[in-house]
Structure 1
């Protein structure tokens, strides 16, 4: 505590002395190195203006003290005064074109100013003086990333890692860029329901291919279902079209000639981003078996810190009235959106909540009571190109033939997705 007080008093005293010199002298006289250290202490103690005054005062006597001018320019950049910063960096580079810190500073300043095209041009100029320099190449890659030339940025990062395989910053940026340039995804879903009584296990598997397009992410699926010693397949397509900033949609359609799937299915939903990390949606789904089932859904989601909450209700009109079901989902994210733990709890019987063992032979089934909980874990490989998901769920389901009696359904699933360019 005493040491902190002494340090604060020393900084104040140094500042007062520097201020007095500024008021009394037009040109600096004293130890420039000591004054430079004083300015750095002031800057790191959130006294930026006083630090800048001290740096400017040093330059009245030592205009070619480039480290001082570069630090002055950097503090301008921290304050968002990018024009002033650029001017000071240019003074240094005009006199010393091979000053690497000045090149790094002026490129970073353009990135802070949201001028990545200028930053990229300056990176190429700097590389003429410092070929294959890892620090300059990294700034070039950041410039390319900002203008969405992600493939070029990845090539630049790979150049860094060829010469510097232990460069942690470059490695982290490569992981990010790999995800951005990997527009294609193939995946496999393997899942099964096991029943405590009545039914044999039900298998549900899916082979899928997805691609990020300008309109949004599109996925085509070939689904396989095995139930009651019968096999069936279904073709399905999903799309998340981008409409405007903060507004996107969901479109789904499927076809099958097997009784284990609806002959046709389709649905749509509209999602809208709201203030304070909220998102809301409204949509519908339709399943066409021997009879047609329509149900309506909505959602309210909340992103807060590394947590995600979502509540989704379903309303299904039927002969006996409208049935309600719903699910509450929580996710705890780790390093990014592909790494999280999830838990979901649902009540009521819905064709979507119970998609693996739903058959529309009787809409009366929709009115059955049901409670469900599901645990999941989503994670990636070290290079983030492989995405894995494991799930385990338990459902307490009322029997169709004996209302009031229940059986248990145990659900397990594993998903593996691979991203590639």
Structure 2
């Protein structure tokens, strides 16, 4: 009984001593060590309250440590404490106006909360001190894009790629805003298809298009003329790319032709695109073709920017009464400069409904087994002129155990104004 009475006070005293020792050890940690612990708590443990407490303790020891104050501002934002975040970051910039990361953090948070003019001011102030900062240039380009001020956004993205050509996020952004940079554009293209055995005459396809940027997104009208099976035909199409939200946009297509021997009578399509973190992008949608009967094709893809490369894997699935048809394509681009200067290579299996030179072959009782490869070069001249050349080869089983070689070549020109 005496031992029990002595044990309880001894245990309490030991616990107090241990707690005091822990506090003393914690107090002896430097501000840098506390910042390291705060980052670990935030990124590894996902414990934002603990990370905030560690930053506050570090700032009590080193009130002028701007890196810690900036990280604390980010932590407040990640914890849905927007007002605290703004106050903290503004204080960091008042104390250290030339701090690059403080300007980047304040601008990015303003961007995510749709305070675009305020975010632009943070960027411009930061760029006065760091005129070649990739992070500030990228953030400013994002804000200008969100404000639909596409021309300076495109120029800024191109300048950034000149400084840092392997910046994948800038590459992805440049690709998205390039079509927005010019209010108008006209284009013409010609495609030639030769068959060894399947058809005795080559196919010809000429397309003329006009596109205009609107406040809702770009709209493109297109007229296609073809000669296939020794028959002429004309098709009319409209494409639209409406902007839905900051990281989402859509593709909408509708086409009509009275010459349903060489074109589908009706065609349509829809895809929803998402710009994902780490320079990924993805889409899901469908394509519709009417050759007298309705054909519905479902499609999806995943893409990734990596340094000067872009990779994309797309699949098409067509449900039939007795089977499910499918086709695939893998495409890669190697960028030589801006968004319109690249080499591309594509490998595919099956017929793509998006390939206007070959989609008519989907109107075939026998499901063509096709392996194909194509490549090309797209480049600009004085920024407003875009040229393209491409060539391809396909091995097509157009009848059971009957194969043919198919060769394609194409050229195109686009003028923006």
TM-score (norm 1): 0.64
Query: Displacement, 1:152?
Result: 1.6
Describe the SS at the equivalent of 2:293. strand
Describe the SS at the equivalent of 2:118. helix
Query: Displacement, 1:140?
Result: 1.6
Distance 2:22 2:388 in 1: 59
Query: 1:30/1:225 Cα in 2 relative to 1: closer, same or farther (>3 Å)?
Result: closer
Matching residue within 293, 296, 299 for 1:295: 293
Describe the SS at the equivalent of 2:178. helix
Listed one character per residue, the Cα deviations across residues 279-303 of structure 1 (whole Å, up to 9, x for unaligned) are 3455534xxxxxxxx3322222344
Distance 2:21 2:111 in 1: 33
Matching residue within 217, 220, 231 for 1:218: 220
1:297-312 paired onto structure 2 within 5 Å: 297-303=295-301, 306-312=312-318
Q: Indicate conservation of the 8 Å contact 1:216/1:239, yes or no.
A: no
Distance 1:58 1:406 in 2: 75
Q: Name the structure 2 match of 1:237.
A: 236
Distance 1:81 1:101 in 2: 19
Query: Displacement, 1:76?
Result: 3.0
Distance 1:284 1:105 in 2: 51
Query: Displacement, 1:200?
Result: 3.5
Describe the SS at the equivalent of 1:54. helix
1:373 maps onto 2:370 in alignment: yes
Query: Displacement, 1:330?
Result: 1.0
1:141-220 paired onto structure 2 within 5 Å: 141-158=141-158, 165-166=163-164, 168-169=166-167, 172=171, 173-181=173-181, 184=185, 186-196=187-197, 200-211=200-211, 213-214=213-214, 217-220=219-222
Query: Displacement, 1:42?
Result: 4.3
1:91 maps onto 2:91 in alignment: yes
Q: Name the structure 2 match of 1:12.
A: none
TM-score (norm 2): 0.64
Matching residue within 376, 398, 408 for 1:413: 408
Query: 1:334/1:166 Cα in 2 relative to 1: closer, same or farther (>3 Å)?
Result: closer
- Higher-Rg structure is 1
Q: Name the structure 2 match of 1:331.
A: 329
Describe the SS at the equivalent of 2:97. coil
1:116 maps onto 2:116 in alignment: yes
Query: Displacement, 1:387?
Result: 5.6
Distance 1:236 1:266 in 2: 9
Describe the SS at the equivalent of 1:97. coil
Query: Displacement, 1:344?
Result: 0.4
Query: Displacement, 1:89?
Result: 0.9
Distance 2:23 2:206 in 1: 76
Aligned residues: 354
Query: 1:381/1:17 Cα in 2 relative to 1: closer, same or farther (>3 Å)?
Result: farther
Distance 1:382 1:76 in 2: 45
1:354-393 paired onto structure 2 within 5 Å: 354=360, 371-377=368-374, 381=378, 389-393=390-394
Query: 1:106/1:308 Cα in 2 relative to 1: closer, same or farther (>3 Å)?
Result: same
Q: Indicate conservation of the 8 Å contact 1:311/1:329, yes or no.
A: yes
Q: Name the structure 1 match of 2:101.
A: 101
The unaligned stretches of length 5 or more in structure 1 are 1-15, 286-293, 316-323, 347-351, 359-365, 399-404
The unaligned stretches of length 5 or more in structure 2 are 1-18, 274-281, 304-311, 353-357
Q: Indicate conservation of the 8 Å contact 1:196/1:407, yes or no.
A: no
Q: Indicate conservation of the 8 Å contact 1:39/1:54, yes or no.
A: yes
Query: 1:344/1:209 Cα in 2 relative to 1: closer, same or farther (>3 Å)?
Result: same
Q: Name the structure 1 match of 2:255.
A: 252
